[in-house]
Amino acid sequence: QTEIFEAGKIFARAEGIVPAPESAHAVKAVIDIALEARKKNEERVILFNLSGHGLLDLQGYKEYLEGKLVDYEPETIDLSYLPKIGEG
């Protein structure tokens, strides 16, 4: 998550728009593609859709900027007890 909020912060400073965290995932992908192209000395045109602003989720940015946001490691859980789709 912290890399996503960092990408959102970079975008906000450059463009003046705070992206929603969901949209900041796209921003992070674009930054990664641009950095890879720069590393390979490739000229790239990168188009993406910023689908939402982050004005309703400023608390997440606040926690990130204050160093309170930590990356979450998902747990592996056993789902074998769930019914299988297509099985009688």
Interacting residues of 52 by C-beta distance below 8 A, sequence separation 6+: 19, 20, 22, 23
What values do phi and psi take at 46, rounded to 5?
-120, 120
pTM summary value: 0.69
For residues 28 and 7, the answer to whether their CB atoms sit within 8 Å is yes
What distance in Å separates the CA atoms of residue 4 and residue 29, rounded to the nearest whole number? 9
Closest CA to 21 of 36, 34, 35, 2: 2
CA distance 80 to 24: 34
pLDDT of the chain, 88 residues: tens digit per residue: 899 999 999 999 999 999 998 899 999 999 999 999 999 999 999 999 888 776 777 888 888 889 998 888 888 999 889 888 886 5
